[in-house]
Structures are given as C-alpha cells and as structure tokens.
C-alpha cells in the first residue's frame, strides 16, 4: 500500500511509485503511434475522413465512463471490505488477549496467544497462496495435511477452551465470550476467502476490456480531421485515462496480493505479533514494518 504525503505539482506530474503509468505505457504508446499514422493518412487523403463524425464517440465515451465507474466502485468495495476484515481480525485478537488472562496455568495462555499469532500468519499465507505450514510453524504446531490450517488452529483453541470449561477452570460465561471471539475470527477468514476466491464476473470484465481497446483505437479517426496533429496528444491522454482506470480496477480486485496498491497484510500481522509478544511479557519486540520507498507491505 502506498503511504506518502500529498504530492506537490511536480510529484503529481512525475511520480511513478504507486502509479500505473509503467504498466500501461506500452499500450498508450501504441495507440498514440496509431493516431499519428491516422493523422498522416488524413493529411495525405482528407477525402477518406470527410464523413467521419465524432457524435458516436461522444455517446460511447460517456457510456464507457459510466460503465467503468461501476466496475471500479465494485473493485474498491472489495479492497475496502478486505481492509475492514483485517481490521476486525485485530479487534478479535486484541479482545482475546484480554480475555485469556483467565488462564493461569504455566504456559497455557502463551500457547493460546501464540496460536492466535499463527492463525494471523497462516491466514495471510493462505490468501496469498503461500506455504501456510511454513508461516505457522514458528508459532504453533499444526498437522500439515489438514486442508485448512488457519481453521485447524481455531478448532484447537476452541477445544482447549471447551475442556477448560468442562473442568471448571473457567466459567461458562467466560467460555461463551472466548468462543464468540473465535467465531468472529472464523467469519473474518470466510469473508477474506470469499473475496479472494470470487472474482468479478469474467464476461463483465471482458466486455469492458474490449470496449476500451475499441474506443481508444477508433477515436483518432474522429479527431484526425478537426484536430490534426493535436490528435496523438489527446489520444494519449484519453488512452492513459481509460487504460489506467482499467488497470487500477484489476489491482483493487485482489487486495491481498503483493502489488504496490494492495493491502499491507505483513504490516498488520506484525502489529498483532508485537502486541501478543508484549502481552506475554516479552521486551525485545520485532520492529514494526515501515514504508520502503513509500510502499508498506
């Protein structure tokens, strides 16, 4: 995720960190070169363009802009919901840190809290298609063959709390509170998996991609006669806008990845890691993750 102060005019014009300009540069350049060729043809053979009218492109551009706004809003909703779910994970784990103080047997609370840290690491690894067992191993023991390692940690924690309630070491009310927090973590995991495994409908995205390319390729034919050699400049601006919005939507559609504009999952997990270790009495805590070149991972 990009973390930086509001740029000045120079920064707005020339900043590349976090910008999608690098990823769409080739497409915009090709469309601009095509516009130059079309203007050259119009200059040599103006009769070919005498019947070209800009009205259809105006209507198509307006419709395309509205269509893109719907898609980008849908993609941003996915990004923001992902952030809210990770925030809810922080709430649930912080609450469990307080509520597990009821466990007084040596090492019992430490095992529970380290299991929660393992869950956070495992969930992020699962959302990024990384090795879940490797991410969890420093914090908790799990069976690598289990199909859902983060959930297996919650099952283990739930079983431990249930046994403590049956043995009378915690009250039924306290067990209910603990179980409610574990259910909350299950809901967080399910919501994040839903976002990860359910992309926007492919025909919806495909139609938008095709329409953007058609619009940017055909637009110079309408602008060549009235604008002349200004056509490549305006074509570059339009293509940058439409290709850029399309690329931003692709970025936000999967908020848990490693792109510069994705959520800072590692930093969020590091925050939980520090708070859990502090609750266990550790004094040498890992340093919080800071943005590197304006990027917080």
2, β-bridge pairs:
295
So what's the pLDDT on residue 277? 92
- CB neighbour list of residue 157: distance below 8 Å, 6 or more residues apart: 112, 115, 116, 182
Residue with tokens 């925050």: 271
So what's the pLDDT on residue 16? 60
Confirm if 50 and 221 have CB atoms less than 8 A apart: no
CA triple 281-286-290, angle to 5 deg: 140
State pLDDT tens for residues 55-94: 777 777 777 888 888 888 889 999 999 999 999 999 999 9
69, β-bridge pairs:
none
Closest CA to 82 of 53, 123, 135, 122: 123
Instruction: Report the percentage of the chain scoring pLDDT > 70.
Output: 90
Closest CA to 274 of 127, 108, 113, 104: 113
State pLDDT tens for residues 154-198: 999 999 999 988 988 888 999 899 999 999 999 999 999 999 998
What pTM value is reported for the model? 0.86
State pLDDT tens for residues 186-237: 999 999 999 999 888 888 888 888 888 888 888 888 888 788 888 889 889 8
Confirm if 124 and 135 have CB atoms less than 8 A apart: yes
Closest CA to 136 of 249, 127, 126, 212: 126
């Amino acid at each position: 995720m990009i973390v930086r102060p509001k740029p000045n005019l120079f920064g707005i014009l020339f900043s590349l960190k976090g910008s999608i300009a690098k990823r769409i540069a080739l497409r915009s350049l090709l469309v601009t070169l095509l516009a130059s060729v079309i203007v050259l043809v119009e200059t040599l053979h103006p009769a070919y363009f005498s019947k070209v009218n800009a009205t259809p492109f105006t209507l198509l551009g307006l419709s395309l802009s509205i269509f893109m706004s719907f898609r980008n809003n849908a993609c941003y909703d996915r990004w923001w919901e992902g952030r809210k779910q990770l925030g809810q994970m922080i709430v649930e784990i912080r609450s469990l840190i307080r509520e597990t103080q009821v466990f007084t047997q040596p090492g019992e609370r430490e095992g529970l809290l380290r299991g929660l840290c393992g869950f956070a690491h495992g969930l992020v690894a699962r959302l990024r298609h990384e090795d879940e067992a490797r991410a969890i191993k420093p914090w908790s023991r799990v069976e690598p063959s289990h199909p859902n390692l983060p959930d297996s940690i919650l099952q283990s924690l739930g079983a431990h709390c249930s046994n403590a309630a049956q043995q009378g070491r915690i009250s039924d009310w306290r067990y209910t509170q603990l179980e409610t927090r574990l259910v909350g973590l299950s809901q967080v995991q399910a919501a994040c998996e839903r976002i990860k495994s359910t992309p926007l409908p492919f025909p919806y995205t495909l139609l938008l991609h095709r329409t953007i390319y058609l619009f940017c390729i055909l637009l110079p034919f309408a602008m060549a006669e009235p604008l002349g050699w200004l056509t490549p400049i305006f074509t570059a601006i339009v293509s940058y806008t439409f290709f850029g919005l399309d690329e931003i939507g692709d970025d936000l559609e999967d908020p848990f990845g490693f792109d510069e504009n994705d959520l800072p999952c590692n930093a969020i997990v590091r925050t939980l890691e520090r708070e859990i270790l502090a609750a266990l009495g550790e004094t040498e805590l890992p340093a919080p993750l800071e943005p590197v070149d304006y990027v917080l991972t």
